[in-house]
Amino acid sequence: MALNRILVVDDEESIREFFEIMLKREGYEVLTASSGIEAIDTLKKTPVDLIISDIQMPGISGMELLSRVRESHPEMVVIMITAFGSTETAVEAMKLGAYDYIQKPFKIDEVRIVISQALESQSLKIENVQLKKELGTKYAFDNIIGGASPMMRIYEMVRRVASTKSSVLITGESGTGKELIARAIHYNGPLKDKPFVTVNCGAIPENLMESEMFGHKKGSFTGAIADKRGLFEVANTGTIFLDELGELPLTMQVKLLRVIQEGTFKRVGATEDITVDVRVISATNKNLEQEVKASRFREDLFYRMNVIQILCPPLRDRKEDIPMLANHFLEKFSKVLGVSVKKISNEAMDVLKRYHYPGNVRELENIVERTVALEPSAIILPESLPRHLAEVQHTVAPLDANKIEIDAEKGIDLEQLVAEFEKALLTKALERTGGVKKRAARLLSISFRSMRYRVDKYALGALSDDDEDDLSTADEVGTA
Task: Looking at the structure, tell me whether residues 202 and 298 fall in a common domain.
Answer: yes
Amino acid symbol at 388: H
Q: β-strands 279-284, 239-243: how paired?
A: parallel
Sheet of 196-200: strand order equals 196-200, 239-243, 279-284, 168-171, 308-311
Angle at the Cα of 260 from the Cα atoms of 254 and 257, rounded to 5 degrees: 10
Task: Looking at the structure, tell me whether residues 302 and 332 fall in a common domain.
Answer: no
Q: pLDDT for 326-345, tens place per residue?
A: 998 999 999 999 998 989 99
- 307, 314 in Cβ contact below 8 A? no
- 453, 420 in Cβ contact below 8 A? no
Residue 218 pLDDT grade (very low, low, confident, very high; cuts 50, 70, 90) = confident
The whole-number pLDDT of residue 136 equals 43
Last residue of a domain, one of 273, 292, 313: 313
Average pLDDT of span 437-450: 83
Last residue of a domain, one of 86, 106, 131: 131
Task: Looking at the structure, tell me whether residues 419 and 386 fall in a common domain.
Answer: no
Residue 359 lies in a domain: yes
- Strand-pairing partners, residue 102, are 81
CATH classification at residue 265? 3.40.50.300
The whole-number pLDDT of residue 198 equals 94
Report whether pLDDT(254) > 50. Answer: yes
The whole-number pLDDT of residue 403 equals 63
Residue 396 lies in a domain: no
| The dihedral formed by the CA atoms of 80, 85, 86 and 88, expressed in degrees to the nearest 10 | 100
Residue 13 lies in a domain: yes
CATH classification at residue 418? 1.10.10.60
The whole-number pLDDT of residue 447 equals 83
Residue 476 pLDDT grade (very low, low, confident, very high; cuts 50, 70, 90) = very low
Question: Which residue spans within 119-244 are E strands per DSSP?
Answer: 168-171, 196-200, 215-216, 228-229, 239-243
CATH classification at residue 331? 1.10.8.60
Task: Looking at the structure, tell me whether residues 153 and 202 fall in a common domain.
Answer: yes
First to last CA, the chain: 60
Task: Looking at the structure, tell me whether residues 16 and 124 fall in a common domain.
Answer: yes
CATH classification at residue 16? 3.40.50.2300
Report whether pLDDT(383) > 80. Answer: yes
For residues 474 and 366, give the distance between their C-alpha atoms in angstroms, rounded to a whole number: 34
Last residue of a domain, one of 278, 313, 348: 313
Residue 228 lies in a domain: yes
Report whether pLDDT(300) > 90. Answer: yes
Which domain, by its residues, includes 344? 318-391
Query: What's the structural domain count of the chain?
Result: 4
Task: Looking at the structure, tell me whether residues 189 and 307 fall in a common domain.
Answer: yes
Average pLDDT of span 423-448: 82
Average pLDDT, the chain: 84
- 50, 115 in Cβ contact below 8 A? yes
Amino acid symbol at 236: N
The whole-number pLDDT of residue 86 equals 66
- Residue closest to 339 by CA, chosen among 380, 298, 305, 307: 380
Report whether pLDDT(351) > 60. Answer: yes
Exposed, middle or buried by CB within 10 Å (0-12, 13-18, 19+), for 240? buried
Which run of H or E residues covers position 336? helix 322-337
Task: Looking at the structure, tell me whether residues 82 and 150 fall in a common domain.
Answer: no
- 16, 39 in Cβ contact below 8 A? no
Task: Looking at the structure, tell me whether residues 233 and 348 fall in a common domain.
Answer: no
Buried b (16+ CB within 10 A) or exposed e, 121-131: bbebbeebeeb
Q: pLDDT for 43-94, tens place per residue?
A: 999 989 999 999 989 889 999 999 999 888 887 889 999 886 667 787 888 8
Report whether pLDDT(274) > 70. Answer: yes
Task: Looking at the structure, tell me whether residues 348 and 407 fall in a common domain.
Answer: no
